[in-house]
Structure 1
């Protein structure tokens, strides 16, 4: 008679919830934190009710972002009660604790070990040697088909409106072989679009004097141009070149060297450059490079080399001391630059920023008026540029595929062209994509229509 075999019942792992706010760099931090917790045996919870502890990764760049972070902390406490705060607002622990004394712990930006230890203290892990807890490449908070690739932390600039260096410190670059190894693994795991991010992508490797490392049998420098060239050699499982998109690029002279790589199809023809303004007096007050005329000349040369290049940027309106003449200078500069994608925000005094002490505060009503005018200007430029694409065939990547329509069974999809970074730019809305398509597919489409920000088309 056989003895009864008792099935081993493993104890249930503690669950962690995550609220991630702010920029893509914060999102990468959240992914790293969750990957480490997953390797320690924790499960992830999709809601407050199922979590043993909730992490709130905060943003502290602007006062409005801080308010959003405080609201998120309050919501997490109300819905769950066991909350750990990390991220950029970690430097304001006294403020957070004064408003929310129930918070279990507060840690700063990219303090991975401290936040993981805080989770261990709040809800100790349960060791289980029989379960493989971490998928290859770690955990992702983005869809499978695109991934953020963080190449450095911190910034050496001291822009008068920014407190990022005081939060995240000076530039610290990752080893080039580590960056390329991570990119290779991401592409092998299904990533079809890499979004390169940092506080200053152009300065990558400056802190290490562009230290070279061996990669694939040859030396490669920790330098933006070398990195871009190597990323251009990657191939997806079906032999395609993944889209490689450069974000937070300061227009240093060596940026000119990556434009031919875009023309040759090794890099996505897209540059995200935070110009912030164009008027020389405002740029000087911001402590930004004041070479707007030379930048215009370079933009024209970039377009001559790579006609399909997309240039996106952000601008601040209502900066202290900005006159109507300065603002008009910016509008005229935008007419000349014809940037493809533009975001703008009204200046906000942020605690700790040097700009707060500058004379010439701009009234809120004037800020709002200038904000509306710059958005009207850039929307008109965008609409004209997108209208010029009607009738063209463009490659797109599918982000979401809908269900068949009840009436005729047609299937729609939301996609992006090479001119569109996820979450911040426009979309390409498709009709009649057919069955069998899924997120991450790269297809060619005919553009049929356009508006101020988006394109509309049909697969070929």
Structure 2
């Protein structure tokens, strides 16, 4: 029942959720959204524009007049998945428009699928719309095609991804995101806050703040200031987080931060997380990737893993309830047994709450491809197994310590047997664990925030019962 299986891919977004009731003469566009939550936000923006122009949205290839495939190009396996999705859409529908990260390599796509109608790169919304117009002219009805203020969402109604910037200024050797999505480009603070406020007004209970490098938010704007409800707010992650946490009472809203690099100013966020009156959750998703200094140097990433342990201790001193999640790469070129064992020992010290791991893959265009001493596939698998065994043991012990505690949870689903699938503040959707309520759920609805007493723990999940009012 766990949503955090050991072979979790860290770059997968939630499955899109569609609500389609087209009128008889309405043109319909299908959407396939692959890749990370940042790509999902791009899909939402494309679909919001299309809905405003009178198109209906469908998840059914056969029922659509054309299909937009939003691709992922981060790993070779993701590229293969994208090509497969394009081929399936061509076979089932025939009219296919390709966008997203893999769209930055149009010749690569058309070399395999020459019949696609158009190929556009990531966040090239106007070009996607132009391609759709060419394939299926719009037919809007202003009296029928009313668009909610929050736009089209591909996630459940009670949570939403909030993208605060595009691109990245890092030059990690294993990553080609800057080549596909460009340098850091932050949205002004008041624009982010206005979007967030509309989402909360529309009933969203959890805002998941995402970008390629959340900690760097506003750096490209030189932390410009903007008026927000009579106050001057910097385009800085500390100011932005504080104001997001004020959009609703902490009992009614969760604000969760993803992809936070451990820059020194991140420590300024921790008091916000310790403040129970602010809706910013005590949760940090930090992409450490590895711990050994030599491995990190080959990755072209900051190599002060010992100082990171000091930072983690300082964060926990300020906010003892903080949940730390990260992802790691094993089998990076040149990784020795000593370096890998260092990572395992570091994990013992860090005691991270939530951990994902994937085996290194070559990515076309990445500088890491040219590094010497690539790790054999069978050794990568063996190290991945050992890493996940370590992470699982840490997770199991931490969850066992929660038995008997009272936790606020958000309800994600209630099945036909009345079993409620929920998440605690320590669990992000799709990538972390769940808390299950097996009985007494008759009065619950999806999106409710309720309190639960934990009575059982597993490797990744918890079970409990509703507390009495």
Shorter-chain TM-score range: over 0.9
- Listed one character per residue, the Cα deviations across residues 50-90 of structure 1 (whole Å, up to 9, x for unaligned) are 10001110000000001111111111111111111110000
Partner of 1:3: none
Q: 1:445 aligns with which of 431, 452, 457?
A: 452
Query: Mind listing any 5+ residue stretches in structure 1 that lack a counterpart?
Result: 1-9, 406-410
CA shift, 1:209, in A, is 0.1
Q: Does 1:32 align with 2:55?
A: no
Q: How does 1:56-205 map to 2 (within 5 A)?
A: 56-205=69-218
| Partner of residue 3, structure 2 | none
Give the Å deviation of 1:101.
1.6
Q: Who is 1:272 aligned against?
A: 285
CA distance in 1, matches of 2:178, 2:90: 30
For residues 241 and 416 of structure 1, the distance between their equivalents in structure 2, rounded to whole angstroms, comes to: 15
Consecutive unaligned residues of structure 2, counting only runs of 5 or more, are: 1-22
2:269 maps to 258
- Cα 1:436–1:241 change in 2 (3 A) is closer
Matched, 1:429 2:442: no
Q: Aligned pairs, how many? A: 443
Q: Structure 1 residues 458 and 123 mapped into 2: Cα distance closer, same or farther (>3 Å)?
A: same
Q: Kindly report which structure 2 residues correspond to 1:358-437, keeping only aligned pairs within 5 A, or say none.
A: 358-403=371-416, 405=417, 411-437=418-444
Whether the 8 Å CA contact 1:234–1:241 is kept in 2: the answer is no
Tell me the residue number matched to 1:339: 352
2:260 aligned residue (249, 252, 255) = 249
1:357 to 344, 351, 370: 370
CA distance in 1, matches of 2:419, 2:297: 48
SS at match of 1:13: coil
Deviating above 2 A after TM superposition, structure 1's stretches of 4 or more consecutive aligned residues are: 127-133
TM-score normalised by L of structure 2: 0.93
- The whole-number CA distance in structure 2 between the counterparts of 1:152 and 1:291 is 26
**Structural mapping, 1:277-296, within 5 Å:** 277-296=290-309
Please provide the CA RMSD for this pair. 1.1
- d(CA) in 2 for partners of 1:146, 1:240: 15
Any idea what the Cα deviations from partners look like across 1:119-151, whole Å, max 9, x if unmatched?
000000014333343111101000110000000
CA distance in 1, matches of 2:350, 2:431: 20
Partners of 1:429 and 1:435 lie apart in 2 by 14
What per-residue deviation string (whole Å, max 9, x for no partner) do you get for residues 187-245 of structure 1? Answer: 01000000000000000000010000000101000000000111111116xx8441100
Counterparts of 1:352 and 1:46 in 2: how far apart (Å)? Answer: 32
Q: CA deviation at 1:259?
A: 0.6
1:226 maps to which of 220, 239, 242: 239
- What is the distance in 1 between the residues matched to 2:465 and 2:80? 42
* Conserved? CA contact 2:252–2:449, under 8 Å: no
> Which of the two has higher C-alpha Rg?
1
Q: CA deviation at 1:14?
A: 0.5
